[in-house]
Amino acid sequence: MKLPGNMQQMMRQAQQMQEKLQQEIAQIRVEASAGGGMVTVGMDGQKHVLSVKIDPEVAGDVEMLQDMIVAACSEAVKEVDQQIQQKMGGMLGGMGLPPGMF
């Protein structure tokens, strides 16, 4: 099925924007901590955990350590989501779409 010229151009532009967004998301790096910095998690834009830093002082209390790791990971996911939303908002704004469409 052949699309009208303007529609083809819009589809091509959308695909280019999606590819650019994916590249930008791949470059996202965040760090989030819990327990006043006793546990710090590093995460990338695809929500892969890249690093975990644990203060030796908290290593003896396993339950508290587990809770802090979960909290730090959850916070890192929120930060990644927030950065992705910002990037998407900026890109979609350039397409001239009405707010709330995506």
CATH number of the domain that residue 70 is part of: 3.30.1310.10
Q: Is the pLDDT of residue 41 over 50?
A: yes
Beta bridge pairs of residue 39: 34, 54
Indicate whether 36 belongs to any domain: yes
Indicate whether 55 belongs to any domain: yes
Indicate whether 101 belongs to any domain: no
Is 51 in contact with 30 (CB distance < 8 Å)?
A: no
**Domain count along the chain:** 1
3-state secondary structure of 101: coil
| Higher per-residue pLDDT: 58 or 31 | 31
> Measured between alpha carbons, how far is 41 from 53 in angstroms, rounded to an integer?
6
Q: Which two tokens stand for residue 99?
A: 């707010």
pLDDT band at 7 (very low <50, low <70, confident <90, very high): confident
Find the helix or strand (DSSP H, E) in which 31 lies.
strand 29-34
Residue 77 structural domain: 28-92
Q: Is the pLDDT of residue 98 over 90?
A: no
